[in-house]
Each structure stands twice: as structure tokens, then as C-alpha cells.
Structure 1
Amino acid sequence: MEERQRVMLITGAAGGVGRATVAYFAQAGWRVVGVDRADFGAGFPENGLFIRADISNPQDIETIYQQASAFAGVLDVVVNNAAMQITRPLVETSVEEWDLVMASNLRSVFLGAKLAYPLLVAAGGGAIVNVSSVHAVATSANIAAYAASKGGLLALTRAMAIEFAPQNIRVNAILPGAVDTPMLRAGLNRGHVGGESMSDRLENLARKTVNGRVGQPQEIASAIYFLADGRQSSFMTGQALIVDGGATARLSTE
């Protein structure tokens, strides 16, 4: 009997890490369902499905999983990668901005998990990978809403892992550090890293890591695949995998 082609769904598919992850899974032979509020453009896998949607909107999330169900009937992996980052001092952050970050980064994962659950069960089990951030464990100024949402995502990951384990669904989180993506470059404008030009800021940021460089999206995609693929990480659930070039290993006082 021919083995069924595995299916994964990823939010934030058009971003830096999202694009790299779409390509990684497609090259490994998976069918890919990609979701983003921005257009993916050329290059999305021909045997996949791209859905233009805003995950901060609960109705959009329902539509996403309805279309995914019609497309494949099952899901083997869900990667919750989409995120919004507002860089503003806490006392200047509005209620509307705070709520939008939480809706995009945390509530969307809760709602998506409820809707993905029956599709994962129909596949006989699978995996959920929540893309958190090192800001969940060590953060900086003017990014409180984002850090809080990513910290909440770690707690949600553990809760989901406990509840979904009886159905053979593993749930883990990945915590990327500084990765060269449009979000990182936009965030460098908040002034926490010195340098007149963007290249100077990236170089100064790279010096702060043990490895002496920022990460590449493909490196995060590889780690996501490790957590997603039950052939590689079958005994891991409820865990947080930090991929940050050693940044959080060094004392800030050093």
C-alpha cells in the first residue's frame, strides 16, 4: 500500500521563517497549506494550498481550517508561525495595540488548535509547533506586548501537550533568537542596538551572540522540521527549543 503524503499547515507563510519552512517541508515531500495576510507571490508549492487570511480574526481562522479540511481531509503538522510585533514603550502602548498583538500571537494559536485538533486526530496523531521567541525568557525595552504574548505561548504549549497527548499529538515550541528576517530588521529601528545603518546594526547584534552572527531563516526551518517530524522527535512534547546562537547562554553582566 502506498504511503500517504503527509500534510502540514503553517501560518505566517509569506514571512522570512515562513517561506524557508514552506520550502523545507515541500522539499521533504510534504503537501503544504500556507496561510498569510500578505500575498505569497511566486514560488508556492504547486501541489499545495495558499490561503490569504488574517489570523487575528476568528472568522478567518474558521475559514482557514474549513479550506484545509476540504483540501486534504487531515493534517499531520501545524506550525503556528505568524506573529505581530509592536515596538513601543509599555506606557505608550494602547489597549487596541496590546489586544491586536495578543489576538495575532496567542489567541490565534488557541483557536487554531481547537480547529486543527480533529484534523490531527483524523491523521492518527501528529505535531503542533508553536514559534515563540527568546523574548519569552529574556527580553528588552519597548517590546512588552510581544514578549508577553510569546511567554504566554510557552505556557499554552505545555497545556496543549498535556491535553493532546492521549491522541498522539505532540506539542512543542521553538524559540528563535536574532534571525535575519524583515521583522528583525524592522525591530532594529527601536534603538536597542547601536549603528547608523542597518548593516551596522546587524553586525553589532551579531557580536552579542556566542556564535558571532545572526541566524538564517533556513536554520529555524530545519529546527521546526525536527520538532514536527515524529520520526526525529517522537519522545519530545511540551518542550521549548531555543535556537539563538547561544545569546541566552551568556550573562548580560559579562
Structure 2
Amino acid sequence: MAEKIKVIITGALGKMGVEAVKAVHEDNELSLVGVVDVKGKGENFSEIVNNKEINLNLENDLDRIIAKTKPDVMVDFTNPQAVFNNVKTALSNKITCVVGTTGLNEVELNQLEKLAIEQEVGVAVIPNFAIGAVLMMKFAKDAAKYFSDVEVIELHHDQKMDAPSGTAIKTAQMITENREQRPPRNTKEFEKVAGARGGDVNQVRIHSVRLPGFIAHQEVIFGGVGQSLTIRHDSYDRVGFMPGVIMAIKHMIETKGLVYGLENIM
């Protein structure tokens, strides 16, 4: 029997972190060896998730947990302020990284890619782990060849820290790759309220909604002469992201350098 992949999870107290802890623990090919969160005070994680089998103390020091457990993979679900340093620390210790935290900019991604190649390990930055969301982005890219006019509405819970979402930005980028260069939009358009027309990513308008009750949802609306096309994906429970997380862990352990987007793993 092959040796199990040793995994630590940072941001383990977050909603995605808790689900990732449970998913990794339950997978027969993975071994959960450490849970890290800045709010950790050494309490036993089994009490937090009400599962006596997850018998690990919650650490708040990433360097210490790396030294103690010597993991193969780090999964990061922290926040935009912490993610870059966390991944840099892990890669420097030759640890493969799977990153679900959004907020990394292009300069930071380039630095992490260079470091991963130097250390001969992999780093996956995944804007959305939902397989259905990846298919939604793929379908939107395909449709962009035939419908050049498009806007994106993304809806998330009111605790989400960044806007627009990483998925919405990635969708806009994929649409741009598959449609011809467009002339400037209607210059006579006037916003009576600043921001009413949303943000602009490569001439794709993105509108961000933040309300309690939502998890993660996105619709891509294409407009054409006499018709429209709407492609929508809804995540109703964070457990739906976990098959993508597990898939990324197992793929990246055999991969070197940067992979951006789950579609490059599927």
C-alpha cells in the first residue's frame, strides 16, 4: 500500500477550513497531520468539529507545525493578508501548496511560481473548487465566441472579504481570451450613482452582491440581437467544494510549478 500524503490545513477554523479538515481526514489516501489557525490556542480540534477521531491540537504557529509534522502538502484557507507569507513559508520548506484563499496579485503569483520551481514542488491557486463552477466558466468561455456582450453577477455571503470574487475575475479573463477585441463601450453612459455599473475587467462588467444567506453563486449573462443566454452556478453548501480540494491535493503532489484554476487539474 502506498504511503499516505501528509497534509496540514491553515485557516482551519474558517468555514472552508473546517470542511477541508473533515474531508482530508476521511480520505483513505491522505493523512491529516496538523491544523493551524491564528486564533488557535492549543485546543483539541475534535471538540470543535464534534468528531473524536480528529485528535489534533489546533496550532497558531505555522513554522512550528511544519517542523513538527514535516507535511507533504499545505492547504490554505486563511485570508488575503496572510496567504502570501504562508505559501512562501511552505514552499521554502519544499511543501506542495493548494491555495483556496483569494487575493494573490500577479506579482505575488509570479514570485510563488519561481519559488516552487526552485524548490521542485507544486503550488495550485484555485479561485473555485466547485467542479460545477469550473464547468460554468468553461461554458462561458465557449459562449464568448458567439456572444461578445456579457456581464457577470456574483453573489456571496456577507462575510466574504474581497470583491469581486476570484471566480468572477477568472471568468472575465477566460471570456476575454475567446472573443475579439472590442471597441470602447457606450461613452454617453452616465452613472447617477458611482459604481452602479459594476467593476470593469477587460470590458466585462462584474457586479458583486454580499448578503447573508448566500454561499457562493455566479451568473454570466450574454446579450445578443433578440436573445440572451444565462449560465449560472450555485453552491448551497461548502461540502460541495471538497471533491475539488481532494482532487487538487492528489494532483499537485506529482506536479512542479504553478497551476492556476481547477480546470487545469480536471
Q: TM-score, normalised by structure 1?
A: 0.56
Alpha-carbon distance, 1:220 to partner: 2.9
Contact 1:132 1:150 (8 Å CA) reproduced: no
State whether structure 2 residue 168 is matched by structure 1 residue 213: no
Q: 1:9: how far off?
A: 0.6
Deviations 1:41-73 (A, max 9, x none): 1335635523331xxxxxx3322323xx2xx4x
Q: Aligned-residue CA RMSD in angstroms?
A: 3.9
For 1:227 and 1:204, the matched residues in 2 are separated by 20
1:112 equivalent in alignment to 2:90 = yes
Q: Within 2, Cα distance between the matches of 1:226 and 1:7? A: 15
Whichever residue aligns with residue 79 of structure 2, its letter is A
- Could you tell which deviates more after superposition, 149-158 or 7-16? 149-158
User: For this pair of structures, how many residues does the alignment match?
Assistant: 182
Aligned 1:36-51 pairs, distance under 5 A? 36-38=37-39, 41-43=48-50, 46=53, 48-51=55-58
Partner of 2:119: 164
Question: What residue is the counterpart of 1:131 in the other structure?
Answer: 100
Shift of 1:229: 0.5
Counterpart pick for 2:76 among 74, 80, 83: 80
User: Do the aligned residues in 1 keep the contact of 2:88 with 2:112 (CA within 8 Å)?
Assistant: no
- Which structure has the greater CA radius of gyration? 2
Q: Which structure dedicates a bigger proportion of its chain to strand?
A: 2
Paired residue for 1:136? none
Task: Name the CA shift for 1:237/1:222 in 2 (closer, same or farther; >3 Å).
Answer: farther
Q: Give the direction of change, closer, same or farther, for the CA distance of 1:152–1:17 in structure 2 (3 Å limit).
A: farther
Q: Percent identity?
A: 14
Structure 2 residue aligned with 1:184, among 160, 164, 167? 160
Q: Which residue of 2 aligns with 1:174?
A: 126
Instruction: Find the aligned partners of 1:10 and 1:112 in 2 and give their Cα distance.
Output: 11
- Listed as ranges, the gaps of 5+ residues in structure 2 are 134-153, 165-195, 197-206, 222-230
Give the aligned residue type for 1:198.
P
Q: Secondary structure at the match of 1:198?
A: coil
- TM-score normalized by structure 2? 0.53
In 1, the alpha carbon distance for the partners of 2:90 and 2:253 equals 22
CA shift digits 1:83-124 (9 cap, x unpaired): 14xxxxxxxxxxxxxxxx2xx12123212332x32xx5xxxx
Cα deviation, residue 77, structure 1: 1.3
- Does the CA-based 8 Å contact 1:170-1:237 persist in structure 2? yes
* Aligned match of 1:222: 243
Q: Which residue type is aligned with residue 238 of structure 1?
A: L
